[in-house]
Amino acid sequence: MPGACPLSISITMNLSRFDMITLQADFTLTIRPMALEDLPAVQEIDRLSFTLPWPASSFRYELLENEHSQLYVAEAQHPNGQKTIVGAIVVWLVVDEAHIATLAVHPEYRQMGIGMRLLISALRAAQQAGMQIATLEVRAGNWAAQALYHQFGFQVVGKRSAYYQDNHEDALIMTLPKIDEKILAQVEQELQKKINRR
């Protein structure tokens, strides 16, 4: 059930983004279970992130009806108190397998480790729910996502030819043979070191 594994992990991040000018973005990031009121922001992030976004009804179904689905959001709280949903992840729990159905971060908040934080939290929650392995599909040309998953130990184990309907791109099937807390802690520690250096 969504929210069955309580997550309220707050991380203070002092990060810089570089576009035309240097911006200092100070905020507190919280990973928490997705709520109904989050859906408009989650759907917008999905639309901005994928050429084939999920229909609005899909997130609602996963949140309200699919008891085998876990959904989490990354929420940024800025110094002025404003809260913004900046990322989301949906995980399906099937027997002993956690299937990463979707993971997305708002374009303005990428390269800050938010996707990694979402994945760490979701895999921990899945492990607590009894899941032992994790799987996902990723576009063959999405090198950034593949690099993220490789850091967790995901391995390419197969391919679905012409899987994506928009351009018939292949999907790579990636599997994490064991959800290991030691690996999650190591990835989290390395991420924190990178953040501290910024």
pLDDT in tens, 46-104: 999 999 899 989 999 999 999 999 999 999 998 899 999 999 999 999 999 999 999 99
* pLDDT score at 26: 80
Q: Is the pLDDT higher at 1 or at 74? A: 74
Q: Which domains are delineated in the chain?
A: 9-197 (3.40.630.30)
Percent of the chain with pLDDT over 70: 87
* pLDDT score at 83: 95
* pLDDT score at 124: 96
pTM of the predicted structure, to 2 decimals? 0.85
* pLDDT score at 53: 93
pLDDT reading at 23 higher than 70: no
Answer for the pair 165, 132: CB distance below 8 angstroms, yes or no: no
Question: What is d(CA 198, CA 180) in angstroms, rounded to the nearest whole number?
Answer: 28
* Mean pLDDT for the stretch of residues 25-48: 93
* pLDDT score at 197: 72
pLDDT reading at 10 higher than 50: no
Question: What is d(CA 99, CA 81) in angstroms, rounded to the nearest whole number?
Answer: 34
* pLDDT score at 140: 93
Question: What is d(CA 26, CA 198) in angstroms, rounded to the nearest whole number?
Answer: 12
pLDDT reading at 1 higher than 90: no
Residue 139 burial (10 A CB sphere; 0-12, 13-18, 19+) = middle
The closest of 9, 14, 27, 13 to 120, measured between CA atoms, is 9
